[in-house]
A and B are shown apart, each in its own frame.
Chain A
Amino acid sequence: MSDTSALYRRIKRRETHSSRSGLAITLAVLVILASAYAVIEMILHLANRPALVSDMFGVASAAANLTEYTVGIVAAVGVVVALIGLFIVLASLTAGRRARHLIDTETISAVVDNAVIASGLARHAAEVGNISPDNVTVSVSHRVAVVTLIPAFGGTIDKSAVVAAVQKQLDSYALFPTVRPRIVINEQGKRGS
């Protein structure tokens, strides 16, 4: 079974982290377009046809005379390009965790979207709080599930009962990493339809 556990570890890691395909594909498409444009300009130049925008010599001399443009504009362009670059570098280095949790089970690899956990918790919280599911909002993050309940008109909600119910649900889901419940009773909240 040792090779299966290694297999499942690999699957679990890949299922809970982004592959960064979207970013890589977007960048690849942009580089392809830029390269294709450069090739077209060079072929037009070789064929002695007028350039689409400017031939490569024009681009080069414009870059060489960068200092002749307004300082503010050049600086602003530099900042924007640098920020885009920084964003891409950070995206390529960070883990890219997806909004999912592992389910602790031995025989298979199981991952569940945070949204599904939230909808399960919402149903049980609404039941215990004796209110409509429309008046419960749940947001599940990596470590915490925030359950916000809006009591019915004139009604009250037994907070400890809701805490117990939500905790019981979370225990039964056997999530990894474990999620702590936080129950908020919002008396001022606007009730749903």
Chain B
Amino acid sequence: MALPFWEIIYRSKSSPILEEKQFDLELFKKGQELKKKYGIKYEPQAPVDVDGDLADRVYQAGVELFLHLGAYCTTTKRAIKVSEAELKEEIASRPEAVEMGQGEDRVRMVHRDVEGTQEPIVIAGIQTAPFSNEEMMFKINQLCAMDRCVDGIWGGILLKIEGQYEVVAGAPSEIYQYRKTVEILRRAVSAAGRPGMIIINNAPSSIATIAMFDEQCGMRRTDYMEVTGMSELKVAYDDLNRTAFALACGINIHGTHSSTIGGFSGNPEGAAIAAVAGSMQEVVIQKAESFRCGVTDSRVKSRISRAELWAAGTAIQGISRNTRLIVDGSIGDHPAAGPGTKQYLYEAAAGFIVSTVMGAHSTEGTRKFVVGDTPNYGTPLESRWMGEVCKGAAGMSRAQASELVKYLLEQYEKYLKDAPAGQTFEALYDQTTLQPTAEYQKLYDEVKAELRDRGLQFRS
């Protein structure tokens, strides 16, 4: 680490006070100025940038944006800024690989190149989703962990304690239940025969997240601490509490940031630039060894719209081409459609193909975008899909990915705003054999065959 974390904290308290609104408006103005300066243009008919020149310009613009703005600390109402030399030194000091998990379940997450054949690490599971009870949570996660194309599990939450007391963020119930959640996850991966497997969860508050770490029965130093930044280019002390704990204990730090199309970064070009800037924030401010370079689209409840694919994909490509950093893409993690539908598989495939081909891992699980308080709204088959697509797309060319993504967009794009809701685990899996229903398996196999015919080289 080039710039000490405590220097970041010092700057968060000693820089001039700045109104948050001014920071937000400057993000928009500077982003649009850089869009012009670097000639960055989103062409909807080309959702995948195939030559890299555009991605390089997005990277340069993103770095310039971060150096101009810094990251806004909402706790102290100040922008934390770094110099160009400090940023370069920080990037150079980051590892090209981190080892995660233990024993036979240990994996090495390395910097991935664009079109690279390096193994994409897949942390699947029904991320942040509610489960109806302990037994169901155990069962679903055990089945997810049994899939060999999955390297880790991102957990969810049991919404009731003892089946009756509500779990709410910021309350004692949050600490108790998130802790119980990771204990269930640890037991589930052990029962799946993978005791050293990575498990991840991230509670709303830092105190509850920290409480999940326990070498015996919870999250371990060899998993990772997710340090979420706030959208867009913001961070709070509650985020940085996680960094402080991880640094003190030697836990891998994984940052996440999302710029927002329709938010203060504006258009898709602005969001791509801000996605790079946000990634720089994760590296310098949150001290992440790996990070999610994300984009959301405020206009749809899916993270795989055409504009998101372009903006996130181009930003990831820019970082992968210009640094040796370890990037997480996870673009396919939140489809609009629900489980048990072809649309879910199409949306997820488009996102995970772009993530992988552009040089990223996918470590943020997979689930329907809107789950509400419906429990068990996902199955192990979507986790398998995530794993199969990511591993299968490693080494694919951007040109081939572009054709495949265009085909996939044709299948789902027009249904994004009125996507099929899908069904829960109880409806999609035989509850006795714990296998997908024949109908769901057939649907899965059909989509897999369709993509195989179009050039996706599944490993099995």
Answer whether A and B are interacting partners.
no
- Which residues does B use to contact A, with CB under 8 Å? none
- Which residues does A use to contact B, with CB under 8 Å? none
